[in-house]
Amino acid sequence: MTYTRITINPNQMAGMPCIRGLRMPVATIVRMVAEGIATEQILEEHPDLEKEDIQEALRFAAEAVRERELPRTGT
């Protein structure tokens, strides 16, 4: 899968995956969505973002989790 809105630059945000070269990490967007913040509110509070940025951040995070072996969780 190709991600056109995700950039990784070792000289920016310690190499964390970000949106389109902005200093907005994918993890921050995923956290906002997980906290129940509506897309419209995220876009209002972060005018440099676009709806497609949020969608791609979620797809990227889902793929990152799918591709990695997860640690055991207390069971």
Tokens matching residue 34: 């997980």
Tokens matching residue 19: 């949106």
pLDDT of 1: 74
The pLDDT tens digits of the residues spanning 9-66 come to 999 999 999 999 999 999 999 999 999 999 999 999 999 999 999 999 999 999 888 8
What domains does the chain contain, in order, with CATH numbers? 6-66 (1.10.10.10)
Residue 52's contacts (CB-CB under 8 Å, 6 or more residues apart) are 5
Q: What pTM, to 2 d.p., does this model score?
A: 0.85
